[in-house]
Chains A and B, each alone.
Chain A
Amino acid sequence: MSVSAVDSGQKNIVQGGRLARYGLRSFALGYLGLLLLVPVLMIFYKAFEDGFVHAWESVTTPEAQHAFWLTIVMVLAAIPVTTVFGIACAIVIVRHRFRGRGALNAIIDLPFAMSPVVIGLALVLVYGSRDGWFGQDLAAAGIEVIFTPLGMAIATAFVALPFVVREVIPVLQEIGDDQEQAAATLGAGPWQTFWRITLPAIRWGVTYGVILATARALGEFGAVAVVSGRISGSTETLPLYVRKLFDTFNVAGAYAAAVVLALLALAVLFAMNWIQRRDRAILAGPSVAAEPAAVVPHIGLPDEKESRS
């Protein structure tokens, strides 16, 4: 039973003839092959080019281990907050009406359009303990931001910001708010409506948003590099450690560390899929076999047909 994000449980009406199907498939696989599969294979190959032992040693030095855990901490510190605000932001943009909504929507993608070096610079400008806009006051209160893991977490959250929002907004738009309206008329409070109706409906958007945001947080180099001060064994994340390995001519080691990052990203993907699967199994009950997709309490069944525009 296929319970992954790639459902094809139902008959595919739009596939068209065999030719179309194979054509599309070939294109997709060809494109992915060139830009994804072959490079990933290459990375794994190069990681073990100097032998498995060498690769293992490169990623298990004390410095490497510290970098590994620091990266995990960065992700745990930045992603949950990003997810919560991402969902809230998506709801505000799609469901609320107020002036400035368009502006809010426009700001979301901006973290991306900034070169990582500039992001680092901007954060130092704002939070730097010597001359920063807020940094000076924060330092006086004993809070150091730049050159500490806190600043790095902020930088990570900055670059991960757009993902959950952008993944959830289209799904929110897609599902429409009938259900939510119906729930409201039936007396459900906003929190209930959110938990029981909206969240399950946007689950795949949230899932992919979290996966993308986490992947980005794992791989972030530029902005974190500037904000971290690159202190070995202290503010060095795994991507920074990759750079260090590269700089000391341990290219195979650099690839090995990259493999670790890739495995972490895969772990997140599987974890998210597993969470989805568990929910679905519980929600759908015995008839789950043929219905791998979203299951939502269906209130107002008779009115369904009329809600089309």
Chain B
Amino acid sequence: MSDGAVATPQAPPRPALRLGFGGPGLTRGLVVGYLSVMVLLPIAAVVSTSLENGIGAFWDAVSAPQAVAALKLTVVASLIVVAINVVAGTIIAWVLVRDEFPGKKIVNSLIDLPFALPTIVAGLTLLALYGDNGVLGISGVSFTRVGVVMALLFVTLPFVIRAVQPVLLELDREMEEAAASLGAGPLTIFRRVILPNLTPAIIAGAALAFARSVGEFGSLVLISGNIPFDTEVASVFIFGQIESGNTESAAAVSVVLLMISIGVLFLINLLARRSMRHER
């Protein structure tokens, strides 16, 4: 993760960066403390539950065919959703910031709505709209993997858009103007000047979208069909394990999901850093 520091040839050796309340140590301590209590502790509880019956049981739970199928579906669907979001989200953010059309402000205000709705409403609405028997019924959506992707796109809509918007707003047009005056075409300007600046934001949005997709339950559960090995996602499988009294197994699959998330996020970050280095 880049730290945004910029080398200034003429500047004196930079003083230690001091930002925050009472110095870096206290801020860092408070932040780490908050995160530990709020995030690490519950996660530790899950990990400890998953290992309650030993690592053998952990492995059995995670390698069960139904679990594997559910995990595979979840990860693949989430990756697809992230890919779509990266492209669509950036375009939409661009249009919202740089373009002008009647009703733009209204559209902009609505972006976060899918998100503020309880997931059951989201699922119900999508089903009522695009399901086989829906108002705008498209066949092959409800109770299929397409339905899974659609529900996930709905709940992750704001992430990339809202991550890119603030950065686009802060972008200084000077460089674009300079590049244009040097004869660069719009696409080149976008690729070489703007996009590299947007990349960290896109990554941040993509990370949120992926993490959310992987854990999503409520909006999926109505439209996906939940057929084991076919349209059952990891969160439904986990829920089933809990209902069946298999808490350790549920915790084990959750831990694997977390590990997969960390892995994918790490990879995305790596790719981003690699691509930024290329620009050099």
Cβ of B61 within 8 Å of any chain A Cβ, yes or no, is: no
Alpha-carbon distance between A98 and B163 when the two chains are bound, in angstroms: 25
Contacting residue for B38 out of A125, A161, A167, A177, CB 8 A: A161
B46 touching A42, Cβ below 8 Å = no
Contacting residue for A176 out of B4, B180, B265, CB 8 A: B4
Within 8 A of A (CB), among B155-194: 157-159, 162-163, 165-167, 169-171, 173, 176-177, 180, 185-187, 189-190, 194
Assuming the contacts A28-B95, A43-B117, A208-B162, asked whether A184 and B18 have C-beta atoms less than 8 A apart, the reply is yes
A211 touching B120, Cβ below 8 Å = no
Residue numbers in B under 8 Å from A262 (CB-CB) = 113, 116-117
Cβ of B271 within 8 Å of any chain A Cβ, yes or no, is: no
Cβ of A216 within 8 Å of any chain B Cβ, yes or no, is: yes
Contacting residue for B91 out of A15, A28, A96, A181, CB 8 A: A28
Alpha-carbon distance between A15 and B186 when the two chains are bound, in angstroms: 7
B129 touching A6, Cβ below 8 Å = no
B34 touching A85, Cβ below 8 Å = yes
Within 8 A of A (CB), among B21-62: 21-24, 27-28, 30-32, 34-35, 38-43, 45-46, 48-49
Cβ of A169 within 8 Å of any chain B Cβ, yes or no, is: yes
Nearest-neighbour CB distance to chain A for B94, whole angstroms, equals 7
Residue numbers in A under 8 Å from B15 (CB-CB) = 181, 184-185
- B5-22 CB contact bits vs A (8 Å, 1 = yes)? 111111110110111111
- A99-133 CB contact bits vs B (8 Å, 1 = yes)? 00110111111111111111101110110000001
Cβ-closest chain A residue relative to B134: A42
Contacting residue for B110 out of A36, A208, A307, CB 8 A: A36
Nearest-neighbour CB distance to chain A for B38, whole angstroms, equals 6
Alpha-carbon distance between A28 and B91 when the two chains are bound, in angstroms: 6
Contacting residue for B121 out of A31, A43, A110, A161, CB 8 A: A43
Contacting residue for A117 out of B1, B185, B208, B238, CB 8 A: B238
B100 touching A117, Cβ below 8 Å = no
Cβ-closest chain A residue relative to B28: A92
Within 8 A of A (CB), among B46-100: 46, 48-49, 88, 91-92, 94-100
Nearest-neighbour CB distance to chain B for A264, whole angstroms, equals 7
Interface hub of B4, B38, B92, B189 (most chain A Cβ within 10 A): B4
Cβ-closest chain A residue relative to B49: A125
Alpha-carbon distance between A255 and B107 when the two chains are bound, in angstroms: 21
Assuming the contacts A219-B117, A222-B218, asked whether A190 and B200 have C-beta atoms less than 8 A apart, the reply is no
Cβ of A91 within 8 Å of any chain B Cβ, yes or no, is: yes
Cβ of A73 within 8 Å of any chain B Cβ, yes or no, is: no
Nearest-neighbour CB distance to chain B for A129, whole angstroms, equals 15
Nearest-neighbour CB distance to chain B for A206, whole angstroms, equals 9
Contact surface of B with A, Cβ cutoff 8 Å: 1-12, 14-15, 17-24, 27-28, 30-32, 34-35, 38-43, 45-46, 48-49, 88, 91-92, 94-101, 104-105, 107-122, 124-126, 128-129, 135-136, 150, 153-154, 157-159, 162-163, 165-167, 169-171, 173, 176-177, 180, 185-187, 189-190, 194, 197, 200-201, 203-205, 207-208, 210-212, 214-218, 234-235, 238-239, 242, 247, 250-251, 254, 257-258, 261-262, 265-266
Q: Offer 6 A-B interface pairs, CB within 8 angstroms, sorted by A.
A: A102-B1, A115-B215, A123-B42, A178-B6, A303-B11, A306-B8
Contact surface of A with B, Cβ cutoff 8 Å: 2, 4-8, 10-17, 20-21, 24-25, 27-29, 31-32, 35-40, 42-43, 46, 85, 88-89, 91-98, 101-102, 104-119, 121-123, 125-126, 133, 154, 157-158, 161-163, 166-167, 169-178, 180-181, 184-185, 189-191, 193-194, 198, 201, 204-205, 207-208, 211-212, 214-216, 218-222, 238-239, 242-243, 246, 251, 254-255, 258, 261-262, 264-266, 269-270, 293-294, 303, 306-309
